[in-house]
């Protein structure tokens, strides 16, 4: 039994990275009713309340400080834990970061990097669906045939092992799965990712494998849990939550782990500091961005896992002469209560 607990602990320690980084989505669609989308109600938020959108953080700065001290938001730049003045974690949030880039028209184009958490609150995905309607083009991640178009009334299903793990985590935490809630059939959605053949060839050329990456992430995730435990009982909390099947506590512990996502993602990089799953896919996404800008589009969004965005921002600044203008935050996980029994 103890061996099973340790294994589950190791797998869950790596789950956090899977939530925000490699969404190796799909090569298949199933014809069923498309998820409903609507305009979100976005309000300014008092510090003690978990809203759908944190407009109070909308400014050109980072909107929070690292470290997770009282009254501060612990973040990695594109994902953060928001706390009350008493230090209680109330929400895990992802960012929408806005940049201006030069365009052929002479007027700067606007590009938003929209951080995705692949398992989240229903209200989170409703807010995103509303946001996406405002773009001339919304570039999305999906390992699928190039320029795939999702027919209206279809739902994406993941056939990858990563997708299965994400679905399991969604069930375990009582949250929603991105593929069930985001409407990928909208006409402004533009595929901006590698094809399965390109992805497989890149991994082969680099000597990468999913099993190798999983074990690396598990090891790094467990190391991060140990480090967090040294300062605040992270190991004990996770194990107790697993034993008790305590979803609310597990949700908080895993949110804290996600704040260390940058370190975990570093574990999957090769000797050159890059990987197919992050860097090569980012290159492909920005090739599509260049194409869309050249076609005359002036308001674009890139919807990718939050773990992709640090590298993507660096490439935007270096290769597109992008200038960061603002940042706002969306609540991905409400950490104030367990929603697993809520009606959906």
- Structural domain includes residue 307: yes
The pLDDT score that the predictor gives to residue 53 is: 54
In order along its 344 residues, the chain shows pLDDT tens digits of: 334 333 444 444 445 555 554 454 443 343 333 333 333 322 223 334 444 555 434 433 444 444 444 445 555 689 999 999 998 899 999 999 999 999 988 899 999 999 998 889 999 999 999 999 999 999 999 999 988 888 887 777 655 555 566 666 777 788 998 988 999 999 999 999 999 999 999 999 988 876 766 666 665 555 555 555 554 455 566 667 666 667 778 888 888 877 766 555 655 677 777 888 899 999 999 999 999 999 999 999 999 999 899 999 999 999 999 999 999 999 999 998 765 554 44
- Structural domain includes residue 339: no
The pLDDT score that the predictor gives to residue 236 is: 66
- Structural domain includes residue 69: yes
- Structural domain includes residue 223: yes
- Structural domain includes residue 30: yes
- How many folded domains does the chain comprise? 1
**Terminal CA-CA length for the chain:** 34
- Structural domain includes residue 343: no
The pLDDT score that the predictor gives to residue 213 is: 67
pTM of the model: 0.77
- Structural domain includes residue 340: no
Instruction: Output the 3-class SS for the chain.
Output: CHHHHHHHHHHHHHHHHHHHCCCCCCCCEEECCCCCCCCCCCCCCCCCCCCCEEEEEEECCCCCCCCCCCCCCEECCCEEEEECCCCCEEEEEEEEEEEEECCCCCCCEEEEEEEECCEECHHHHHHHHHHHCCCCEEEECCCCCCCCCCCCCEEECCCCHHHHHHHHHHHHHCCEEHHHHCCCCCCCEEECCCCHHHHHHHHHHHCCCHHHHHHHHHHHHHHHHHHHHHHHCHHHHHHHHHHHCCHHHHHHHHHHHHCCHHHHHHCCCCCCCCCHHHHHHHHHHHHHHHHHHHCCCCEEEEEEEHHHHHHHHHHHHHHHCCEEEEEEEEEEEECCCCCCCCCC
The pLDDT score that the predictor gives to residue 58 is: 43
- Structural domain includes residue 147: yes
Residues of the domain holding 286: 2-334
The pLDDT score that the predictor gives to residue 185 is: 93
Among 123, 126, 118, 211, residue whose Cα is nearest residue 166: 118
The pLDDT score that the predictor gives to residue 141 is: 94
């Amino acid at each position: 039994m103890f061996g099973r607990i340790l294994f589950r602990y190791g797998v869950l320690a790596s789950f956090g990275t899977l939530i925000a980084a490699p969404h190796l989505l799909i090569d298949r669609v199933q014809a069923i009713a498309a998820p409903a989308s609507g305009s979100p109600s976005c309000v300014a938020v008092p510090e003690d309340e978990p809203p759908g959108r944190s407009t109070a953080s909308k400014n050109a700065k980072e909107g929070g400080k690292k470290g997770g001290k009282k009254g501060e938001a612990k973040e990695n730049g594109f994902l953060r834990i928001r706390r009350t003045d008493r230090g209680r974690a109330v929400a895990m949030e992802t960012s929408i970061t806005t940049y201006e880039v030069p365009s052929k028209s002479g007027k700067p184009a606007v590009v938003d990097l929209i951080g995705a958490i692949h398992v989240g609150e229903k209200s989170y995905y409703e807010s995103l669906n509303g946001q996406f309607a405002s773009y001339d083009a919304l570039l999305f991640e999906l390992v699928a045939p190039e320029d795939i178009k999702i027919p209206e009334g279809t739902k994406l299903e993941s056939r990858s092992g990563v997708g299965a793990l994400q679905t399991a985590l969604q069930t375990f935490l009582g949250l929603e799965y991105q593929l069930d809630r985001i409407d990928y059939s909208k006409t402004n959605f533009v595929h901006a990712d590698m094809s399965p053949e390109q992805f497989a060839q890149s991994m082969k050329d680099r000597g990468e494998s999913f099993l190798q990456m999983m074990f690396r992430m598990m090891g790094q995730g467990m190391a991060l849990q140990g480090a967090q435990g040294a300062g605040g009982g992270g190991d004990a909390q996770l194990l107790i939550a697993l034993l008790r099947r305590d979803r609310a506590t597990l949700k908080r512990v895993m949110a804290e782990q996600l704040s260390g996502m940058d370190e975990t993602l570093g574990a999957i990089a090769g000797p050159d500091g890059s990987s197919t799953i992050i860097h090569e896919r980012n290159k492909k996404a920005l090739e599509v961005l260049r194409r869309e800008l050249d076609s005359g589009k002036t308001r674009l969004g890139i919807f990718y896992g939050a773990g992709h965005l640090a590298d993507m921002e660096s490439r935007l600044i270096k290769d597109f002469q992008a200038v960061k203008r603002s940042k706002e935050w969306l609540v991905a996980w409400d950490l104030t209560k367990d929603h697993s029994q809520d009606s959906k």
